[in-house]
């Protein structure tokens, strides 16, 4: 995890709901340099030692930041759930649909989501995020892809549909406004997840359940995605991949439901924690 004010987050390791171990003396951040150096493995022993000695700190209402520093890139896979493709009326893709989000969209899991100027169709998407643990290209097998994954987290792939679909066909236009990528609250390493291909997902808007899904309806699973993307670009340590959303997005309802200032989104994934964002007006 990373806790503290925006731009001044401190790296910590969550022990339980109430306690954490401060590791800011061991690494300045959970960033590209940290993951490239095998930081997760290097932290294991000193964190276990500090827990054994009782060197724990209590959470005291600090802001929770995204669990990783600003990544080199945020890559996204569209229409990656068979039931979501059905609700949009689009065919299941033969290969992953790739688009990008600006890395500066990354915010904490409970930070406000700001409506961009000119927005008319603001939407939500609960997603499983993948963080890359080492530099990778031309991976050949699912096993190699699994070894390149540092961990998983909850992501809200906030989208502005009129920008995305009505302004010239470039999805990045509707995906890259400020605050459009809440992430966290924590990064969960693969060994802590029984089966990443069977995780329940949910999202509520103003207390009403809008999305209910499971990663088992993914068309392309996390290992396929990482291997596939590595054929087209180099994945860098700390890169974030958003892997698609289950059904129930705003544009999938009849009539469509769009977010407005004052709305509250709450979302989560089994074992990965939950988020809460309030929608605020444009600057």
Sorted by sequence, the CB contacts under 8 Å of residue 97 that are 6+ apart come out as: 77, 78, 79, 80
Q: How far is CA 87 from the centre of its chain?
A: 22
Q: Tell me the percentage of the chain whose pLDDT exceeds 70.
A: 100
pLDDT of residue 3: 98
Per-residue pLDDT band for 92 (boundaries 50, 70, 90) equals confident
pLDDT of residue 66: 98
Per-residue pLDDT band for 105 (boundaries 50, 70, 90) equals very high
* pLDDT tens-digit series, residues 168-184: 877 899 999 999 999 99
Residue 91 has pLDDT above 90, yes or no: no
The mean pLDDT of 269-283, rounded to a whole number, is 97
Residue 84 has pLDDT above 80, yes or no: no
Residue 93 has pLDDT above 90, yes or no: no
The mean pLDDT of 52-63, rounded to a whole number, is 97
Q: For the whole model, what pTM was predicted?
A: 0.96
For residue 91, whether the previous peptide bond is cis, meaning omega lies within 30 degrees of 0, is: no
The structure tokens 């150096």 sit at 37
Task: Give the Å distances, CA to CA, from 151 to 6, 113, 179, 239.
Answer: 22, 24, 22, 11
pLDDT of residue 164: 93
The mean pLDDT of 156-173, rounded to a whole number, is 92
Q: What is the mean pLDDT of the chain?
A: 96
* pLDDT tens-digit series, residues 111-128: 999 999 999 999 999 999
């Amino acid at each position: 995890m990373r806790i503290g004010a925006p731009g001044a987050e401190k790296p910590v390791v969550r022990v339980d709901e109430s306690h954490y171990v401060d590791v800011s003396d061991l690494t300045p951040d959970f960033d590209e340099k940290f993951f490239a150096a095998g930081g997760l493995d290097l932290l294991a022993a000193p964190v276990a030692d500090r827990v054994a000695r009782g060197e724990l700190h209590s959470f005291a209402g600090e802001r929770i930041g995204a669990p990783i520093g600003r990544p080199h890139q945020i890559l996204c896979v569209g229409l990656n759930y068979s039931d979501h493709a059905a609700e949009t009326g689009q065919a299941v893709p033969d290969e992953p649909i790739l688009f990008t989000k600006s890395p500066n969209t990354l915010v904490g899991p409970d930070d406000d989501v700001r409506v961009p100027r000119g927005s008319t169709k603001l939407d939500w998407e609960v997603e499983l995020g993948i963080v890359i643990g080492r530099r990778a290209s031309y991976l050949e097998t699912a096993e190699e892809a699994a070894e390149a994954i540092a961990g998983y987290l909850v992501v809200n792939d906030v989208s502005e549909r009129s920008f995305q679909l009505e302004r010239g066909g470039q999805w990045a236009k509707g995906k890259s406004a400020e605050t459009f990528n809440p992430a966290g609250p924590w990064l969960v390493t693969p060994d802590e997840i029984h089966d990443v291909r069977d995780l329940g997902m949910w999202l509520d808007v103003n207390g009403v359940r809008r999305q209910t899904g499971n990663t088992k309806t993914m068309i392309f699973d996390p290992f396929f995605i990482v291997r596939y993307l590595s054929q087209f670009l180099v994945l860098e340590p700390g890169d974030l991949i958003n892997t698609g959303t289950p059904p129930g997005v705003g544009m999938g309802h009849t009539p469509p439901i769009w977010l407005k200032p004052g709305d509250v989104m709450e979302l989560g994934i089994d074992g990965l924690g939950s988020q809460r964002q309030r929608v605020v007006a444009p600057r």
